[in-house]
Amino acid sequence: MSDMNKPNEQANSTSGETLSLNDDRRVKTLSPGALVVKRFFRNRLAVLGLVILAIMFLFSFVGGMISPYREDEQFYTYTYMEKEYVGVTRNEDFRYVSAEGADFGSAAQAQFLMAQMMGKTEFDYKDVTYGVAEEGKDFYSVSVDGSVIAIAYKDIVNAADNKEEPAFNVKYEALKLYTNDGTGSFTADGMELSLDEDGNILQGEEVLGYISRFVVQSKENGVVIPRDFKESLEQVLDAEGTEFAYTGEDGEEHNYTITYDASTKIWSVMQETETYVYSQYEAPSAKHPLGTDTNGMDMLTRLMYGGRVSLIIGFIVVVIECLLGVILGGLSGYFGKWVDNLIMRIVDIFYCIPSMPLIIILGAAMDGMRVDPKLRMLYLMLILGILGWPGIARLVRGQILSLREQEFMTATEACGIRVSRRIFKHLIPNVIPQLIVTCTMQLGSVMLTEATLSFLGLGVKFPFASWGNIINDVKNSYVLTNYWFIWIPAGVCLSLAVLGFNFVGDGLRDAFDPRMKR
């Protein structure tokens, strides 16, 4: 009985029976848009590119919002660093001190040096005869009419800690004893003084000053170098040592290293001090998963914000290119004749412009004018957009030249539709598929251009981050070889984003026009 009913069922189905939605006998039809989507998602590389871009967008935009750090937040740490504390020279040149009220200037000093080298006991200058007397080793007195008006010496008379500079007569009498390897008492300015074997100038038990051949100069303003530090340093220098330790008045011991520059004949004394500095190139840790950069900023956070800047610049530049390219290309393709010739000659001019040298010149000019980093990014987007529209204009023009001869355009003319509506309502929408493919692939190119300019220091500027200026640090070969976490993550993100845009662009091209699929 069941077999006998089958022909009747088939007859009923063919006689207009309504089929259910899930019946396999229904004919499935898809809209053109659905067909494009279906073909796109059948392309595995295109889907992979879409996934990559989704991850990049989430990383850059969502990641920046949930990051516990700001883009320009800097971290500091205490570290021991060597800073130049003092410079030391062994005096080998004559120094001069004049008596109170006497004048012994540089010209007279030069005449003295000539007389000293020639072994003369006097010289004339400005109708005045000066007498030269050797008072001791590397110590001379200069007199006029038997009165000493100046002394020339190489051993330095220093004031004791918290004491005033010794007077002229004190220096003269003390050096006379010292340069003759002598010690003892002497009188100067009405004071009874003495010189001991260590070169100390004493008034009773009080030290007024001391004599030394070494000149110790502090490298920090307002820092007074104590006498015992100088003495310890001189002992190390006499023994040709390269390091020593000194306990200051605060009871804290400091370590010092000594280096000698033969060209300047200066010893540099470096002090190891605890300094509060940027946490530069900190290795990856729980606090900073990708470490910190040269400015002590969290690298993971900089990568997130850098991706945001790079992607935004790419999209805005492509939008500018599309607006200019679609408008000018549409006008050129529709009107033809002199309008087409004019716009195409403008396109040819833009193609002849050396874009990269021009951008480099403009970047250097903005550096010179110290343009604000925010304004600089705006200028960068405008420059890239204005220089990049000719390719899109040619694409749109070529498509419209073929479309304007179609029957539907003849119908628009017959219906009296205005020109602007014919171009932007009927012609441009037919160019959209090719435009989408071109713009998608152009995004990757723009991001690479921005990264190149930022790497060269001509694009996005600190404190803003982009993947290009993050990689800028690898210009230092030491960073390149020792701190992989500075440049490899930014390079990987940039490569993945560009690769994702290229995969999606290829997929869209194949989806819109399956005949192009190889």
Encode pLDDT of 352-380 as tens digits: 888 888 888 888 888 788 888 888 888 88
The pLDDT assigned to 203 comes to 87
Higher pLDDT, 297 or 2: 297
Are 464 and 373 within 8 A, CB to CB? yes
Does 7 have pLDDT greater than 70? no
Please list the residues that pair with 276 across neighbouring strands.
Answer: 78
How would residue 22 be classed by pLDDT, with cut points 50, 70 and 90? low
The pLDDT assigned to 230 comes to 82
Enter the pTM of the model: 0.62
Does 389 have pLDDT greater than 80? yes
The pLDDT assigned to 513 comes to 67
* Cα–Cα distance measured from residue 149 to residue 152, given in angstroms and rounded to the nearest whole number: 11
Helix (H) or strand (E) holding 399, with range, is helix 390-403
Give buried/exposed letters for 446-467 (b at 16+ CB in 10 A, else e): bbbbbbebbbbbbbbbeebbbb
Has domain 35-75+288-516 been given CATH number 1.10.3720.10? yes
The pLDDT assigned to 132 comes to 92
The pLDDT assigned to 359 comes to 83
Does 74 have pLDDT greater than 70? yes
Does 212 have pLDDT greater than 90? no
The pLDDT assigned to 518 comes to 46
Higher pLDDT, 176 or 35: 176
Does 271 have pLDDT greater than 60? yes
208: closest CA among 151, 177, 165?
A: 165
The rounded percent of the chain whose pLDDT value lies above 70 is 90
Does 13 have pLDDT greater than 60? no
Does 80 have pLDDT greater than 90? no
Q: Which of 11-15, 29-33, 478-482, 499-503 has the lowest mean pLDDT?
A: 11-15
The pLDDT assigned to 28 comes to 55
Mean pLDDT, the chain, integer: 82
Average pLDDT over residues 232-258: 82
Does 189 have pLDDT greater than 90? no
How would residue 478 be classed by pLDDT, with cut points 50, 70 and 90? confident
The pLDDT assigned to 342 comes to 92
Contacts of 80 (CB under 8 A, 6+ apart): 272, 273, 274, 275
Domains of the chain: which residue ranges?
35-75+288-516, 77-89+220-278
Contacts of 331 (CB under 8 A, 6+ apart): 339, 343, 423
How would residue 17 be classed by pLDDT, with cut points 50, 70 and 90? low
Does 54 have pLDDT greater than 90? yes
The pLDDT assigned to 351 comes to 87
* Cα–Cα distance measured from residue 154 to residue 163, given in angstroms and rounded to the nearest whole number: 22
The pLDDT assigned to 24 comes to 52
* Cα–Cα distance measured from residue 171 to residue 56, given in angstroms and rounded to the nearest whole number: 77
Q: Which of 20-24, 55-59, 253-257 has the lowest mean pLDDT?
A: 20-24
The pLDDT assigned to 152 comes to 92
Instruction: List the structure tokens of 281.
Output: 């190139």
Are 452 and 468 within 8 A, CB to CB? yes
Are 461 and 373 within 8 A, CB to CB? yes
The pLDDT assigned to 418 comes to 72
Top mean-pLDDT range of 77-81, 232-236, 277-281, 487-491? 487-491
Q: Which residue has the tokens 């530090």?
A: 229
Distance linking the first and last C-alpha atoms of the chain: 56
The pLDDT assigned to 162 comes to 79
